[in-house]
Amino acid sequence: MNALQEQTIPLYGKIVDKYHELSAKDKPQLARQSAFHKFQLLGFPTIRHEDWKYTNITRFLKDEYALETSVVAPPAQLLAKAAIPGLDCYQLILVNGIWDGKIAGSPLPKGIEIHRVKDVLNKPGFAEYFANENWGNLHFAALNAALYTDGLFIRVSANVAIDKPLHIVHLYTSDHNLLVQPRHAWIVDRNAELSIIETTQSMSGETKIWVNGLTEIFLNGDAKLDHVHLQTASGGTRLVQQTAVHQKKQSLYNNYTFTLPGADLVRNDLQARLEEDHTETHLYGLYLTAGDQLVDNHTLVDHQRPHCFSNEHYKGVLLGQSTGVFNGKVYVHRAAQKTNAFQQNNNLVISKKATIDSKPELEIFADDVKCSHGSTVGQFSEDALFYLRARGIGEAAAKALLINAFAFDVTDKLKHAAVAEFINQQISHHIPVNHAG
Amino acid sequence: MLIIRNLHAEVEDKKILKGINLTVNAGEVHAIMGPNGSGKSSLASVLAGRENYQVTEGEVIFEDKNLLDMAPEVRAREGVFLAFQYPIEIPGVSNINFLKTAISEIRAYKGQPPLDAKEFLRLSREKQKLVEFDAQLVNRSLNEGFSGGEKKRNEIFQLAMLEPSLSILDETDSGLDIDALRIVSQGVNKLRSEKNAFIIITHYQRLLEYIVPDFVHVLYNGRIVRSGTKELALELEEKGYDWLKEEAREKETAI
């Protein structure tokens, strides 16, 4: 038990109360009970936990947060910026983790069903997706699983390829400090195909919003999912996002995570569990951090079976007094022979006051594998900067060109030109010289 | 166009240039020769504004303005162009985007309207042809994967696009085979006019057979120790630099 945390962290007591309130209404599922006990055991992470060594969240836990999420109308300001220009898609808007049931763009085609988690979580055929607990010792995932009430359930039927991407817009707004815990379950059945683009935005203001999201993704045999997440929240927002992906035979999962300036804290835990043979996984990430942001990307590629391929490339650009953390774990089980696992993390530290902690972690128990990893930290190339300036390009424009060039390896991988364009613009928008120095 | 007076410069407290005097007028081509380590490339770097060089004495006047007060990009916009000895590869920045950005910043500086895409394309085709540079530039990163010769030709192509009044060619001939040398030289010769000037830095006389200079200067130990016409280059080719080094040393001891 965490007696100390109970006394020092105001949120802790509220969590206990909320759990009892939820349990009083309905007899809690075993999974919820067990998650709550796990959270009680783990408590909030501190820098004494290896996985949180460089990510000190104490200051964010000093604020008090309410746990009640009421349905709010999406603020016009956020809605105006929500759409990705030129992207033909099905758009869903979630405000504080709650979907209003509407789909903009065109009606959904056959073969895909979308529900509010609230409506399905106890139903047969759905409940099983919320009974998992296989995200290891993730403190915040346990907390989410103990207290979640809503989110998005998406399922694509076997052999269906959805023609257009789903654009899931997450908007967060509140007039009081709030902890929001959306939980999503997305299933792509056998030989089906889906493309998901998530964008996250929040209102800036005095109020603090903590989003503790948990997304579980299930890819059955030969399924394909392309998954983009663009995190561009405002100051006052704290984002903790756990994503656990379960890959079956010959499935393909592509993840592209972009974290841009804004949120005070971003912690992503992305776990790809390669549970059957011949899977393919690509994890691309770009974090551009500014101000006094703390942005931490923890990834795990768990090679459980033979003949799987994984490739990971995360790039970081650090401005202001921001701190970046990259921790990339690749675990190759004894059974996972003929594994190909590659990992690369490159960082461009632009400001003298910015820091990056980059840590590749490879644990390999099979003997016939091909694995590599690399981590670099550098500054602007003075030679490149001078070359550009010697052609009449001002310092600011030259730096912007070089940052965009650095990010290019990642943005280049995006499948939809409109999304790439949108993200590139956001990147350019965040790199005036006043961030640097 | 360019007046250099008593220019002294150093890198990390090491004195490199020790009193350069040079006047370049519009329409002239000046060759600067000299043995390795004499300060030739340093002079080019100082003129272009490379920041690790400290000017400790002297002045450089370019078209009646103090060149040394200007940031590198301002010098470029005013019309100074340095063709790099080692052009930089920049993955992720496309050749075309790079040139577009450069041209639009230079035009904005001069108060000219931006070039539209069509006009830019026409101009770049025309200039590529002029300097016989047929490399595919669209969708290719700046200098990435270019051979040594292609990089140098890309420099001359950029020169043609930006139309500077003063071009400084820093050992553009190094690493070029005879065909590339001829093409690069022909490019420069086509770009020569009454209105612009060239400073050609070279180690060998070979380049000067193609680009005939009006003046030849020999730089040694941070100073110009001898100036003459193109015949001086031939004399150097024949006799090497030793006799000039000897002379320079004698002068120094005499002082």
Note whether residue A366 is domain-resident: yes
What is the tens place of the pLDDT at every residue in B7-23? 999 999 899 999 999 99
Strands B54-62 and A252-259, bridge-based pairing: unpaired
The angle formed by the CA atoms of residues A98, A99 and A105, to the nearest 5 degrees, is 155
Nearest residue to A408 via CA among B149, B210, B90? B90
Pick the closest to residue A180 from A254, A238, A248 (CA basis): A238
**DSSP for residue A75:** P
Side-chain half-sphere CA neighbours of A131 within 13 A: 9
Are the Cβ atoms of A401 and B97 closer than 8 angstroms?
A: yes
Write the DSSP symbol of residue A415.
Answer: S
CB burial of residue B111 (10 Å; 0-12, 13-18, 19+):
exposed
Position A430 scores a pLDDT of: 82
What is the arithmetic mean of pLDDT over B128-155? 86
Chosen for mutation from B45, B53, B88, B169 (greatest number of chain A CBs closer than 10 Å) is B88
In a domain, A95, yes or no: yes
Largest CA distance in chain A: 71
Give tens-digit pLDDT for B25-45.
999 999 999 888 899 999 999
Q: Which token pair is A300?
A: 């795990």
CA distances from A291 to A262, A288, A321 (A): 8, 11, 6
Q: What is the pLDDT of residue B108?
A: 95
The H-or-E segment that residue A230 falls in is strand A224-231
Interface ipTM > 0.90:
yes
d(CA A155, CA A158): 9
The answer to the question of residue A363 being in a domain is yes
* Interface mutation vs chain B, best among A393, A402, A406, A413, most B CBs within 10 Å: A393
Q: Count Cβ–Cβ pairs < 8 Å, chain A vs chain B.
A: 77
Q: What type of residue sits at position A398?
A: A
- C-alpha A331/C-alpha A424 separation (Å) is 33
Element (H, E) at B62: strand B54-62
Identify the H or E element spanning A273.
strand A265-274
* Chain A CA closest to residue B87: A387
Q: Of A319, A418, A391, A435, which Cα lies nearest the Cα of B97? A: A391
A200-252 pLDDT, tens per residue? 999 887 899 999 999 999 999 999 999 999 999 999 999 999 999 999 999 99
- Does B162 contact A at CB distance below 8 Å? yes
CA distance B74 to B76: 5
Q: How far apart are CA B232 and CA A201, in angstroms?
A: 70
| Contact status, residue A352 vs residue A381, Cβ threshold 8 Å | no
pLDDT < 70 positions in chain A: 1, 28, 432-437
Residue range B57-89, pLDDT digits in tens: 999 999 999 999 999 999 999 999 999 999 999
Helices A395-411 & B95-109 angle (0-180, nearest 10): 160
The verdict on a CB contact (< 8 Å) between A384 and B90 is yes
Give how far Cα A220 sits from Cα of A155, A190, A308, Å: 11, 5, 15
For an interface test with A, which of B77, B90, B151, B162 has the most A Cβ atoms less than 10 Å from its Cβ? Answer: B90
Chain A's closest residue to B88, CA to CA, is: A384
Three-state DSSP class for residue A335: coil
pLDDT at B203 over 90: no
Q: Is A165 exposed, middle or buried, given 0-12, 13-18 or 19+ CB atoms closer than 10 A?
A: buried
Length of chain B as a residue count: 255
> Which range marks the domain in which residue A360 is found?
45-429
3-class SS at A93?
A: strand
Q: According to the model, what pLDDT value does residue A204 have?
A: 80
Angle subtended at Cα B41 by Cα B37 and Cα B45, rounded to the nearest 5 degrees: 135
* pLDDT of the residue at B205: 84
Sort strands A209-219 and A183-188 into parallel, antiparallel or unpaired: parallel
- What is the CB neighbour count within 10 angstroms for residue B131? 23
Cα–Cα dist B41/A335, whole Å:
60
DSSP string, B81-109: EEE-SSPPPEEEEEHHHHHHHHHHHHHHH
pLDDT of residue A28: 66
CB contact under 8 A, A386 and B72: yes
Confidence of residue B255 (pLDDT cuts 50, 70, 90): low
The CA distance from A82 to the nearest CA of chain B, in Å, is 28
In the numeric block, which tokens belong to residue A68? 């009640």
Query: Which residues are bridge partners to B218 per DSSP?
Result: B33, B226
A309-318 and A280-289 as β-strands: parallel, antiparallel, unpaired? Answer: parallel
Inspect the interface and report whether the beta carbons of B98 and A404 lie closer than 8 Å.
no
Question: Does residue A183 lie within any of the structural domains?
Answer: yes
pLDDT in tens, B220-250: 999 999 899 988 888 888 888 888 888 878 8
Chain B neighbors of A404, CB-CB under 8 A? 92-93
Tokens 């998005």 belong to residue = A152
The Cβ of residue B180 has, within 10 Å, a number of other Cβ atoms equal to 19
Looking at the complex, does the CB of residue B98 fall below 8 Å from at least one CB of chain A? yes
Give the count of domains, chain A.
1
Q: Which residue has the tokens 């804290």?
A: A265
Looking at residue A59, its amino acid is: R
> How confident is the model at residue A63, as a pLDDT?
93
Do the domain assignments include residue A391?
A: yes
Tokens read off for A283:
């994890």
- Write out the residues of chain A at the interface with chain B, using a CB-CB cutoff of 8 A: 381-384, 386-395, 397-398, 401-402, 404-409
Residue A234: other Cβ atoms inside 10 A? 18
Q: Tell whether B112 lies on the interface with A, counting CB pairs under 8 A.
A: no
DSSP 8-state symbol, A66:
B
Query: Within a domain: residue A13?
Result: no
In a domain, A437, yes or no: no
Phi, psi of B235 (to 5 degrees): -65, -40
Residue B132 backbone dihedrals phi, psi, to 5 degrees: 50, 50
Q: How many CA atoms within 13 Å lie on the side-chain side of A177? A: 14
Q: Does residue A281 contact residue A310 with C-beta atoms inside 8 Å? A: yes
In this prediction, residue A180 carries a pLDDT of 96
- Phi, psi at A289, each rounded to 5°: -115, 150
Q: What share of chain A is helix, strand, coil (3-state, %, to 5)?
A: 25, 40, 40
Q: Which residue has the higher pLDDT, A435 or B99?
A: B99
Q: Which of A437, A429, A436, A423 is nearest to A84 (CA)?
A: A423
Q: What is the pLDDT of residue B233?
A: 87
Q: Please answer yes or no on whether A387 and B91 come within 8 Å at the CB atom.
A: no
CA distance A85 to A95: 21
- What does the block give as tokens for B5? 């007076």
The CB-side HSE value for A288 (13 A sphere, CA atoms) comes to 28
- The beta-carbon neighbor of A383 closest among B71, B88, B99 is B88
pLDDT at A437: 36
Other Cβ atoms less than 10 A from the Cβ of B246: the count is: 10
Asked if A397 and B101 touch (Cβ cutoff 8 Å), the reply is yes
Residue A10 lies in a domain: no
Q: What is the pLDDT of residue A432?
A: 61
Strand boundaries in A27-181, DSSP class E: 90-95, 98-99, 112-116, 152-156, 166-172, 178-180
Query: Which pLDDT belongs to residue A435?
Result: 40
Distance from C-alpha of B144 to C-alpha of A409, rounded to nearest angstrom:
14
Evaluate whether A18 touches A67 at the Cβ level (below 8 Å).
yes
